[in-house]
A and B are shown apart, each in its own frame.
Chain A
Amino acid sequence: AQTVTQSQPEMSVQEAETVTLSCTYDTSESNYYLFWYKQPPSRQMILVIRQEAYKQQNATENRFSVNFQKAAKSFSLKISDSQLGDTAMYFCAFMKLSGGSNYKLTFGKGTLLTVNP
C-alpha cells in the first residue's frame, strides 16, 4: 500500500514571495504519477502540477515547480511570486501506473497555505 505524508499542516507566505510545500511518499512501485492538487475554499479540487516518475526532469507550470527526488521519495512544490489567489489547501497525491483505467489517488492530509497581502 502507498502512503503520502505532508508534514506541514499550515504555512503562510507574503504576497510575491516564494514558498515550498513538502511531501514524502512510500511505495514499492516503480511506475507512478505524483500530483499536487489545490482545493480553495470553493471546494473544487484543481490539478496544479503532475510528475511522471520515469521522467528525471522536474515538472514546471508557470509559477509552480516541483523538486522530485525519486530515491528519497520526496516531491516538494515550489510556488514563486505568490498571489492572494494561491490561498488554499494543497494536497500531494500518488497514483500507481497500472495501465487501462485504474485511477486511484492516494492523498496526503494537506497543507493549508495562506498568502498574506
Chain B
Amino acid sequence: DAGVTQSPTHLIKTRGQQVTLRCSPKSGHDTVSWYQQALGQGPQFIFQYYEEEERQRGNFPDRFSGHQFPNYSSELNVNALLLGDSALYLCASAPGGTRGTGELFFGEGSRLTVL
C-alpha cells in the first residue's frame, strides 16, 4: 500500500519564478493538506483540500494556490517566488468525513530552494 508520495523531491528556482509541487494521497484518503516547514522550524499549515475545494487556509499570501483533482491528488503552486519561500513543503492526507481519526499521514516532502 503506497503511502503519500510527493514530487519532485528537490528543486531549485530563482526569485520571481513559479513552481508546482505534486502530491498523491495514501490509498483510501480523500483529503489533502499542505504545510511549509522552514529550516529548524515546525510545519506551518498552508491549506487543505477536500472534495476538490479549499476548505481551510492558513496565513499565507495569494501567491500560494492549490488544486485537488478528481482522483484526490493535489498540486501546490507558488507564484513570484521569494527567497523566504525556501523550505520543505509537506503534503499530508487523511480520510475525509466521519472516517477520520485526526491522524494525518505525511509524505517525505519537496525541498524548494529559491536563489
- Interface positions of A (Cβ within 8 A of B): 4, 33, 35, 37, 42-47, 50, 52, 91, 93, 95, 97, 100-110
Size range of the interface on B? 20 to 34
- Please determine whether B104 and A109 come into contact, CB atoms closer than 8 angstroms: no
Within 8 A of A (CB), among B76-115: 88, 90, 92, 94, 96-97, 100-109
Chain A min CB distance to B99 (Å): 9
Chain B, residue nearest A106 (CB): B45
B31 at the interface (CB under 8 A from A): yes
Q: Which residues of A contact B27 (CB under 8 A)?
A: none
**Distance between B88 CB and nearest chain A CB, rounded to angstroms:** 7
A-B pairs under 8 A by CB, number? 73
Contacts of A109 in B (CB 8 A): 40-42
- The smallest beta-carbon distance between A59 and chain B, in angstroms, is 12
Whether the pair A91, B90 counts as a contact (CB closer than 8 A) is: no
Instruction: Assess the A103–B107 pair: CB atoms within 8 A.
Output: no
Q: Which of A91, A104, A106, A108 is the one whose CB lies under 8 Å from B33?
A: A104
Report if B74 contacts A (CB, 8 A): no
Contact A104 B88 (CB under 8 A): no
Once the chains bind, are B42 and A45 in contact (CB under 8 Å)? no
